[in-house]
Amino acid sequence: MSADESRNEQVEEELNEAPEATEAPTEEPVAEGQGEVEVLQAQLSEQKDLVLRTQAEMQNVRRRADIDVEKARKFALEKFVKELLPVIDSLEKAVESTEGKSASDDVVASIREGAEMTLSLFRSSLEKFNVQAVDPVGEPFDPQLHEAMSMVPAPDAEPNSVVSCIQKGYTLNDRLVRPAMVVVARPDDSAKIDEQA
């Protein structure tokens, strides 16, 4: 009987252990499943954040590309305008050179009239493409738009104002193509300071 008793005890032990074994595995997968869910949720939120950042970056790239294309369209004529500026300067000099001549000379008058008409047509064509002349006589000197060629004493003009314009400047869509070459009025005090130095 001792063998039977020992068998009975073993069976009882197995029965007692069986429910514990079945309960323990069910708790571990639930805990493991919850941990996996949390990890997957964290990864999902990271991916959502990454997608949002990528979309924002793409929008910024599109905006920058649109701005670059707009600037390219707006300022595509800049080199062409630079090449045309000596032509308009020459026409202006031709008109200026005939101003002192007498109107009785028919040849000079017809040349002047033709040069004025050509100059007028040329200026209106440039204005259609937003090319504006910078002729700053009487205005304060602006180093952004003007290039000072010299400073002269001018008692009747304000100090640091433009007395005369040697060569007009031009802008294309409010961007400087060529600065105006100007003569600036020198302040009276600067002459005294220079002499003392």
pLDDT tens digits, one per residue of 122-180: 999 999 999 999 989 989 999 999 999 999 998 888 888 999 999 999 999 889 999 99
109 pLDDT tier (thresholds 50, 70, 90): confident
Does the structure show a pLDDT above 80 at 193?
Answer: no
pTM attached to this predicted model: 0.60
Instruction: Give the whole-angstrom CA distance, residue 170 versus residue 179.
Output: 7
Q: What is the pLDDT of residues 66-98, one digit of tens each?
A: 999 988 888 888 889 999 999 999 999 988 888
Q: What is the CATH number of domain 130-197?
A: 2.30.22.10
* Greater pLDDT, 23 or 43: 43
171-183 per-position pLDDT tens digit: 998 899 999 999 9
* pLDDT at position 188: 75
